[in-house]
Amino acid sequence: MSNEQKKSNPASVIIGIVVGAIIMVIGMYIAVNVKIGFQESLAQQGIPLDLGRTIATIGVFIILFPVIKSFFLVPLADAINSRTTELEKTFSEAEDLRADMKTMQADYEKRLAATEADAREKIQAQIKEAQALRQKLEAEAVGRADELVRRAREEIESDRTRLKVELRTEVVNLTLSATEKLLGENMDSDKNRRLVEEFINKVEVPT
């Protein structure tokens, strides 16, 4: 039933008022003109009962009921229904909001987990790059050190060979000079120099 049907039905209201008025008039007539014997008996027993007034009161209620219904009961029912509808709407919106909050929370947690995973990956990548750079620098340092050692050995060996040649030449010159002084002759000849060098080679201690 719609609210308009609840609020008013003119025919039923008119019928109710007419019926109520008739009953009220009948009750008033009975109260004024009709004397019922059992009423006096009830009154003597302390139970006052006026049948006419009672009937008239019922008629008044029948007249007032459509008015009360139209101006009080129907608006009250409409207000209750409206409030119920608003509450249901509010509850529905609250449930929707709760579902949205859960969705947002799940999305936030998912993004947070993805961000943490991405951060861990970047940190691991930076650690690997640092380790690779350290290994590269260590390898370069070892290579440079080996190269320096090799060059130093080559230089030492070159200096050693040069010094041996110079020392041998000096020994030969000294030997020839001493021999010249002893013999009083010039001993500086290719043959004599070769002989001295061969002698030095025979007596030279290998290193």
User: What pLDDT sits at residue 11?
Assistant: 74
| Max Cα–Cα distance, the chain, nearest Å | 198
User: What pLDDT sits at residue 205?
Assistant: 47
What are the residue ranges spanned by the domains of the chain?
A: 3-91, 160-203
Average model confidence (pLDDT) across the chain: 77
What digits encode the pLDDT tens for the residues 186-195? 555 666 666 6
User: What pLDDT sits at residue 44?
Assistant: 62
User: What pLDDT sits at residue 23?
Assistant: 82
What digits encode the pLDDT tens for the residues 21-36? 888 788 787 766 766 6
User: What pLDDT sits at residue 3?
Assistant: 47
Give the residue, 126 or 196, on which the prediction is more confident.
126
Q: Report the share of the chain in percent with pLDDT over 70.
A: 70
User: What pLDDT sits at residue 49?
Assistant: 62
